[in-house]
Amino acid sequence: MSVDPAPRRGWCPGLARPMPTGDGLLVRLHPVSGRLSAGQVRAAARAAREGGNGLLDVTARGNLQIRGVTAESHGRVVDILAEAGLGDARHDGGPQRLTLDAPLAGADVLAVVAAVEAIGREVVGLPAKTLVAVEDAAGGLGPVEADVWVRVAFDAGCRLTSMSPYQARDVSSPRPRGEETRTWRRAMSEGAEDKLFPALRLAIATPAAPLWLAPMPAPAALATLRTLLQGLATSGARRMRALPDAKRGALLDGLERGDAPPAGTVHPAGLHGRTLLAELPFGRCDAALLDRLAAWSERYGDGHIALTPSRGVALTARDESTAARLRDEAAGLIVDPADPRRAVAACPGAPACASGGTPAQGDAPRLAAAFAAFSREGATAHVSGCPKGCAHPGPATLTLVGRPDGRYGVVLDGQAGTDTDRVLTFGAVLERLESLRDLSSPWAETGLRDAFREPA
């Protein structure tokens, strides 16, 4: 049986242009590097309470979306968030936030992020979903659906800036910048002396795998990035991987190819030095939790949080003893890397999303419990309310795809848009998983294929 994926939207919601969903309008905020002050976090919570249904999601790009906004309350939401400095960065249909970086990345990454965002805002016609992934050795992102990758050279011998991570995050904001920002932007210009900067590695997405270029000094790399983004903007393609071979070849003409660099470290949930990475269960929170996060950031840290690509938050404490207290305070969130919920991705599903045929968000906790034995052996699961697969576009060991009749299509080692003949109720899915619970090694030999073979 063939399942046709629901069409993906060609634009992304923002503050001024919300998206209709099953539970009202969805307003999405796009803070650069996911960085929010405690005051901005409280403003988002207030907007969710006064103008939405009180529920919010952190997305896989580290953005924050407010659910349940109405046509009547939208103006109030805009006023609250604009006053807090959370207005849209652009109004031409281009990406509100172009970059994605890891919460533990260094100051060099944060300065590159700021430079890339500035370049992106100057590229007319850039598709709304364009994504530039910026990484270093300490801040890897793992598999992401990026159009361009930028890796800061793993040689710490020369620094991109003299800014601390906190200063770098501040200047990466789209808000008006100060003299220090103008100084480094001049330094990042193409005429700057290369020896002052580390090398950057660029790669562009292709249908098969990222195509890496040889290392370049930062000014030259950023100039090349501008050319790549302009090429995408004028190509008519929505994503870099969709470029025809001839256009891709022309865009890369004269650029030296290189080998893929070592992957950066991807940090799981938990305490890393003074920084706590806490994931939200399936990316969902409410206004009350946002208020608590703001209070924790002031009580234990510097009064800021960062939204993370793992659909959670990062909070940095003042010292190690304070960090331990912060971790204890956040015990209701996912702070244990072995938590089985970490292995399951889930979208809001029905009724929150109009495309959803199943209550993915409600089914996800029960799936995580039944799937725990598999997740301990590295397996992953995805509960999608429809074939779009928004919460996890890539493949998973087990993917459940919601159907209009309330059942799930079951996909093994594939993704939400994959055709499948296995269609089951959610109860039947749980029964098949639980049938393997008593095995000493449910992953051994046929594993999940045994559980979902036909007939049951």
Nearest to 308 by CA among 30, 34, 14, 65: 34
Count of beta carbons in the 10 Å neighbourhood of residue 7 = 9
pLDDT category at 442 given cuts 50, 70, 90 is: low
Are 214 and 258 contacting, i.e. CB atoms less than 8 angstroms apart? yes
pTM for this entry = 0.84
CA distance 133 to 17: 25
Amino acid at the residue 363: D
pLDDT in tens, 31-70: 999 999 999 999 999 999 999 999 999 999 999 999 999 9
pLDDT category at 455 given cuts 50, 70, 90 is: low
Predicted pLDDT at 262: 86
Count of beta carbons in the 10 Å neighbourhood of residue 337 = 12
Alpha helices, DSSP H, located in 174-239: 179-187, 218-235
State the chain's mean pLDDT as an integer: 86
Predicted pLDDT at 197: 55
CA distance 145 to 238: 13
Q: Give the rounded distance of the alpha carbon of 180 from its chain centre.
A: 29
Say yes or no to pLDDT of 254 above 80.
yes
Average pLDDT over residues 310-320: 96
Q: With 0-12 CB in 10 A as exposed, 13-18 as middle and 19+ as buried, what is 342?
A: buried
Predicted pLDDT at 155: 44
Which residues 6+ apart lie within 8 Å of 197 measured at CB? 158, 160, 188, 217, 218, 219
Are 116 and 99 contacting, i.e. CB atoms less than 8 angstroms apart? yes
- Top pLDDT among 362 and 435 is at 362
Q: What percent of the chain has pLDDT over 70?
A: 85
pLDDT category at 168 given cuts 50, 70, 90 is: very low
Give buried/exposed letters for 317-336 (b at 16+ CB in 10 A, else e): beeeeebeebbebbeebbbe
Predicted pLDDT at 183: 36
pLDDT in tens, 112-137: 999 999 999 999 999 999 999 999 98
- Cis status of the peptide bond prior to 351, with omega within 30 of 0: yes
CA distance 274 to 408: 42
pLDDT category at 436 given cuts 50, 70, 90 is: confident
Say yes or no to pLDDT of 192 above 60.
no
Say yes or no to pLDDT of 443 above 70.
no
